Structure 1
Amino acid sequence: MNKDRPSPSRSASSLALMLTLVATSSACGGAASGSSDADNGSPVSGGTLSFAVATDAGCLDPQQVGSSDTLYALRQTVDSLTDQDPSSGRIVPWLARSWEVGDGAKSFTFHLRSGTTFSDGKPVDAEAVKKNFDAIGKLGGLAILAQGYLNGYRGTQVVDELTAKVTFDQPNAQFLQATSTPGLGLVSPADIARTPAQRCADGVHGSGPFTVAAYRQNESLTLKKRKGYRWGSTAWKKKGEAYLDAVKFTVVAESGVRAGSLGSGQVDAIGGVRRQDEGVLRRGDARVVRRANPGVVFNLGFNNARPLTRDARVRQAAQAAINRAEIASAVFPGGTRPAASVLSRTTPGYTDLSEELAFDRKKATSLLAEAGWTKGKDGIHRKGGTKLSLTVVTFSNAGAYQSALELVQQQLKDVGIELVIKQLQVTQFPQTLNTGDYDALWGGDLTRADPDALRTLYSTHQVNSYRLPAGELDTVLDRQAATTDTAGRDELVARAQQLVVQNAYVLPIVDQEALFGVSERVHDLTPGASGGVRLHDTWKS
């Protein structure tokens, strides 16, 4: 498998995920536009779907990959215990036909479907579930999302051949939704025995409706339909094998070139549609499919331990200085909404805090004066000989997001805060995070249709890239993770959002959306509830 692949260097995609997770997914209740396939006739089998993406993570193991572009493909190769219905947000059967949550959300017992196999022929049984979850801890930071899902993992008991009981040291209410994500997609026990580098280089054997047929790093990844597949998610329309014979993902870095390729019929679908591409696509034989991303919104996240950003009044002043509506309308695709909380509107438990996030330049100036800062001749505040200058770290290939950051930079300058933009390559992030040599991180959004995304990023018990102080936020996030009652959990999640916003630990900027360009001859290509796209039901006319 994957004989065309050159030897890779170690991928940093999982680490980058902490900072710039802009995965495509649908929200609970989030509507898609341009995705209706009514009146297109009956679906037909066959054909190859050509899909252009911007990047390649350089790894073929979905448990280690955080890049949404790469997960578009790898999600098709692995199944999960459960699925999350994109339209309702409900957790529905997939590899597990049923389950029970017990002991106050400390235990989860899954009853597996019979007859399911990985692409190497090994059975998807309780022993395979155990080996997968036991091994994820050994991946360490290479599987940072999965690590968070399994926080406090005690072990998996093989009750019988098709029954696995997963237990935790403490209540873990988010785990059931986590089992629907590609980060906890199951791979063959034979792959678990190999090193992480080998899994990245050679790929893994999932039980999904497609398998990897060929891969050339930074060029293309081709999938082929798996014959005999018959255990799909109950959220899918079609039973049995996929319609498409194959799917070829091609790396095309420039968004304009991707849009042009779709418009000219060279490709069938593209990811990463930019603001300037929408008009081009609508004028051609294509449509834009969009779904709102659940989880943590796109933001400017402070290092709360740095001398200048340790002062809450400085952070709050910066928050009041941000004109989110201007950024959304000037930089992002049409329909993008200003953030009204640290969670997006489509996340279960979302609370509207738009009043606290209102643009108020006078408030920003007043807060800085209260903190003892005075404007210098150059318009930048100073105190005791120290200039109010903050360094924000971003990716050198941030694209449209770079334009948004430059607008934030100007808005902060208008109230006397200097923002210095420091561009880094992905490979520089590990050392940067370890040293804490930054005042802020640009990005920080985490796509997940569960409010526990807050705990992943902002609990001091996790990675804590933002150097948040231990306190009430930890307590609240831990309690929501232990609460299975929906109303009670929503109250705790609301308090967590209030604490993040009121203390301006991070500055929410905009709700993110996943936008795809899709040819009119392609039908039923839709985003999934926890990232990526759903291609099992997709067909071409």
Structure 2
Amino acid sequence: MNTSSAARRVRPPGRALRMIVGLATAVALAACGPGVAANRGGSGEPRQGGDVTFLIDSLGDTWIPNNSAISSFQGHIWGHLTDKLVYVDEKGVVSPWIAKSWEQNPDATEFTLHLRTGVTFSDKTPLDATAVQANLDIWARGDATRGINPIGLFPKTYDHAEVVDAATVKVFFKAPTLGFIPTLGYHGSILVSPKTIALPAAQQADLSNDLGSGPFVLSSWKEGDSVVLKKRADYDWAPEVLGHQGPAYLDSITYKLVAQPSVRTSAVQSGQADVAYNPSPQELKSFADQGFTTATPRYLGFVNGFAVNTKVAPFDDVRVRQALQHGIDRKEIISTVYTPDWQPAQSLFQSNVPGATDHSADFAFDAAKAGALLDEAGWAKGADGVRAKDGEPLALTLYANPYLATSKSVDELVSQQLGKLGFKVDVQAFDVVTYGERVKVNSPSVAAYEVTRSFIDAGIVAGILTDANKGENWFGLGQSDQKLVRLATGVAGSGSVEARAPLLDELQGYVLRQGYFVPLTQIVQRIYLQSPRLHGVVYNGLAYANYYTAWLG
């Protein structure tokens, strides 16, 4: 993660949500330039009290815990209303949280979780073994009769969980599941009250009914507008690794929906807000020079790139996929769209993922090689520079991913690069809801699905790359590529990290050489512009800002 901060800036005290009504005026205020003054914090020790306003570009479309946009916008709120069984940092290191310890059997098919005692949900009911069992079941299976989905990437090998006693749960899997413990720190693995789990979906969609055990509780919310959280006075079970116990320092956090990036950033510059989510990467240096804090944490997961649908011609031809792979200049993407804070992709996984290995050579930019591959595949350039075969143009539509603020700019640059090779590329962009309805993995109209996907443990790949065990089948291969099935299944079924490592390395190289996945850059999906008066912010392995330890100077 990269974080930068300069001189401290004093902002006017006494802000409240009503101040955000005038956010549009913040653009004009910021144009005058912010003043930079001494820090009121003085000693640098955490201070109690204060209210933080976080401006965000979406609040998702449902608050049903299992169905919500938890891997993107709503995860900010869930991360403060709820706890998880384990904490995972930006390097993938797993630490105790609600599960204070655990054991597994030699082949990773049985796990025993030992829970902290005295933990309660916000209605004071216990977060005990029975509650954990209910959460594990709903994460794994969902409830189709109520329209509740299983959570993404929860191990499909889950069999059942048993309550041993109030503080002990035993969990059973149908096959080795080495990634179970790390996955307990994933987006969707949020612990909610059994009372919430039992509710109909329509009632779960009311955020006030979603009871968690986190350091903040819901104060108020307004659909499509804002969520206000206040600290929970009796909270006392944070992960020890955070270095703080007891209630949060801040009194409240207000998440306010502001669609325009310039209005979000201008509000922070003018002192009307504390955090602006997803500012332009190209503006970060300017903000830091003005005395503001910027953060670009990387999450654990896949790099930003395209999952190629091999069912869609001409991408059923490995030569065309390889031409796509070698026809993209990733260095130009970083230098044009991003800043030096962004890192080039080395594989299909982020380099901070345990087990990720460097396969840069398998997708190095080589326009001559890409052109030769297209020639060999029978795609000839016409007078207009577009390649064609049997009267059909070499066409590709890219759909900008709305969960990544820079996606459209990247896709437009990729379009230019591929255009020089003879591709006819169209770029389309939709809002979050429309994108979810129209752009789907394996759709016959989507040849290249742009991935922004986090995960905690690489063992989940078997549930994504093929359709084995009801996997997501990213590349439209089903189980036709037996080598891919063997590698993915071997990774998922390994009983130890040591046994998994060579299989995981081989899998990465094979996927890239086949052109199934086309990396772009290592991903920074969550970008933060923050007031320099805001201290103590921590970013977890999913790149979410945690304000439990934060305080205002």
Worse-matched range after superposition: 389-398 or 112-121: 389-398
Task: Measure, in 2, the Cα distance between the counterparts of 1:211 and 1:533.
Answer: 17
Task: Measure, in 1, the Cα distance between the counterparts of 2:372 and 2:170.
Answer: 56
Q: What is the aligned partner in structure 2 of residue 17 from structure 1?
A: none
1:105 aligns with 2:104: no
Residue 393 of structure 1 and its aligned partner are, at CA, apart by: 3.0
Q: What is the aligned partner in structure 2 of residue 336 from structure 1?
A: 342
Distance 1:428 1:48, change over 3 A: closer
Q: What is the aligned partner in structure 1 of residue 15 from structure 2?
A: none
1:467 aligns with 2:476: yes
Match of 1:454 among 455, 461, 464: 461
Contact in 2 for aligned 1:211/1:223 (Cα 8 Å): yes
1:156 aligns with 2:161: yes
Distance 1:57 1:163, change over 3 A: same
Q: What is the aligned partner in structure 2 of residue 115 from structure 1?
A: 118
Worse-matched range after superposition: 278-287 or 508-517: 278-287
Worse-matched range after superposition: 309-318 or 201-210: 201-210
Q: What is the aligned partner in structure 2 of residue 433 from structure 1?
A: 440
Q: What is the aligned partner in structure 2 of residue 179 from structure 1?
A: 184
Residue 397 of structure 1 and its aligned partner are, at CA, apart by: 8.6
Task: Measure, in 1, the Cα distance between the counterparts of 2:321 and 2:478.
Answer: 14
Q: What is the aligned partner in structure 2 of residue 41 from structure 1?
A: 44
1:313 aligns with 2:319: yes
Task: Measure, in 2, the Cα distance between the counterparts of 1:396 and 1:118.
Answer: 34
Residue 484 of structure 1 and its aligned partner are, at CA, apart by: 3.7
Deviations 1:233-261 (A, max 9, x none): 12212111111111111112222221111
Task: Measure, in 2, the Cα distance between the counterparts of 1:365 and 1:431.
Answer: 32
Distance 1:180 1:438, change over 3 A: same
Match of 1:445 among 452, 469, 482: 452
Task: Measure, in 1, the Cα distance between the counterparts of 2:42 and 2:73.
Answer: 30
Deviations 1:468-496 (A, max 9, x none): 34222222122222224223222121111
Letter of the 2:48 counterpart: S
> In structure 2, the residue corresponding to 1:75 is in which secondary structure?
helix
Residue 540 of structure 1 and its aligned partner are, at CA, apart by: 0.7
Q: What is the aligned partner in structure 2 of residue 245 from structure 1?
A: 251
Residue 527 of structure 1 and its aligned partner are, at CA, apart by: 1.3
Contact in 1 for aligned 2:55/2:275 (Cα 8 Å): yes
Q: What is the aligned partner in structure 1 of residue 88 from structure 2?
A: 84
Residue 64 of structure 1 and its aligned partner are, at CA, apart by: 2.7
Q: What is the aligned partner in structure 1 of residue 289 from structure 2?
A: 283
Taking structure 1 as the reference length, what is the TM-score of the superposition?
0.89
Task: Measure, in 1, the Cα distance between the counterparts of 2:465 and 2:6.
Answer: 35
Contact in 1 for aligned 2:155/2:460 (Cα 8 Å): no
Match of 2:77 among 69, 73, 81: 73
Residue 89 of structure 1 and its aligned partner are, at CA, apart by: 3.0
Contact in 2 for aligned 1:51/1:248 (Cα 8 Å): yes
Match of 2:511 among 485, 494, 500: 500
Task: Measure, in 2, the Cα distance between the counterparts of 1:532 and 1:40.
Answer: 27
Contact in 2 for aligned 1:303/1:438 (Cα 8 Å): no
Task: Measure, in 2, the Cα distance between the counterparts of 1:144 and 1:280.
Answer: 43
> In structure 1, the residue corresponding to 2:159 is in which secondary structure?
strand
Contact in 2 for aligned 1:329/1:336 (Cα 8 Å): no
Worse-matched range after superposition: 137-146 or 362-371: 137-146
Distance 1:492 1:165, change over 3 A: same
* RMSD after superposition: 2.5
Q: What is the aligned partner in structure 1 of residue 426 from structure 2?
A: 420
Task: Measure, in 1, the Cα distance between the counterparts of 2:519 and 2:552.
Answer: 39
Distance 1:287 1:317, change over 3 A: same
Task: Measure, in 2, the Cα distance between the counterparts of 1:395 and 1:354.
Answer: 24
Q: What is the aligned partner in structure 2 of residue 52 from structure 1?
A: 55
Deviations 1:42-94 (A, max 9, x none): 111111111111111133344332352221121111111111134x5321111
Q: What is the aligned partner in structure 1 of residue 230 from structure 2?
A: 224
Distance 1:403 1:157, change over 3 A: same
Q: What is the aligned partner in structure 2 of residue 481 from structure 1?
A: 492
Number of residue equivalences? 511
> In structure 2, the residue corresponding to 1:336 is in which secondary structure?
coil
Distance 1:397 1:91, change over 3 A: closer
Letter of the 2:198 counterpart: A
Contact in 1 for aligned 2:282/2:338 (Cα 8 Å): no
Q: What is the aligned partner in structure 1 of residue 204 from structure 2?
A: 199
**Structure 1 segment 266-281 matched on structure 2, within 5 A:** 266-281=272-287
Task: Measure, in 1, the Cα distance between the counterparts of 2:403 and 2:88.
Answer: 32
> In structure 1, the residue corresponding to 2:113 is in which secondary structure?
strand
Q: Which structure 1 segments of 5+ residues have no match?
A: 1-29
1:133 aligns with 2:143: no
Residue 103 of structure 1 and its aligned partner are, at CA, apart by: 4.8
Contact in 2 for aligned 1:296/1:453 (Cα 8 Å): no
Deviations 1:421-479 (A, max 9, x none): 24445346446538723243442121224223534432323122431342222221222
Residue 273 of structure 1 and its aligned partner are, at CA, apart by: 2.5
Task: Measure, in 2, the Cα distance between the counterparts of 1:510 and 1:259.
Answer: 25
Q: What is the aligned partner in structure 1 of residue 306 from structure 2?
A: 300
> In structure 2, the residue corresponding to 1:214 is in which secondary structure?
strand
Distance 1:476 1:242, change over 3 A: same
Distance 1:54 1:145, change over 3 A: farther
1:404 aligns with 2:375: no
Residue 373 of structure 1 and its aligned partner are, at CA, apart by: 1.7
Contact in 2 for aligned 1:62/1:75 (Cα 8 Å): no
Distance 1:494 1:396, change over 3 A: closer
Contact in 1 for aligned 2:148/2:201 (Cα 8 Å): no
> In structure 1, the residue corresponding to 2:315 is in which secondary structure?
coil
Contact in 1 for aligned 2:440/2:446 (Cα 8 Å): no
Contact in 2 for aligned 1:393/1:438 (Cα 8 Å): no
Larger-gyration structure (1/2): 2
Task: Measure, in 2, the Cα distance between the counterparts of 1:145 and 1:508.
Answer: 28
Contact in 1 for aligned 2:114/2:168 (Cα 8 Å): yes
Q: Which structure 2 segments of 5+ residues have no match?
A: 9-40
Task: Measure, in 2, the Cα distance between the counterparts of 1:497 and 1:143.
Answer: 33
Q: What is the aligned partner in structure 2 of residue 64 from structure 1?
A: 67
Q: What is the aligned partner in structure 1 of residue 532 from structure 2?
A: 520
Match of 2:545 among 529, 533, 537: 533
Q: What is the aligned partner in structure 2 of residue 95 from structure 1?
A: 98
Distance 1:142 1:83, change over 3 A: farther
Task: Measure, in 1, the Cα distance between the counterparts of 2:236 and 2:403.
Answer: 41
Residue 284 of structure 1 and its aligned partner are, at CA, apart by: 2.9
Distance 1:79 1:538, change over 3 A: same
Distance 1:75 1:256, change over 3 A: same
Distance 1:343 1:257, change over 3 A: same
Distance 1:342 1:378, change over 3 A: same
Contact in 2 for aligned 1:296/1:446 (Cα 8 Å): yes
Letter of the 1:415 counterpart: L
In the TM superposition, structure 1's runs of 4+ consecutive aligned residues that sit over 4 Å from their partners are: 30-40, 139-145, 395-399
Residue 301 of structure 1 and its aligned partner are, at CA, apart by: 2.2
1:350 aligns with 2:356: yes
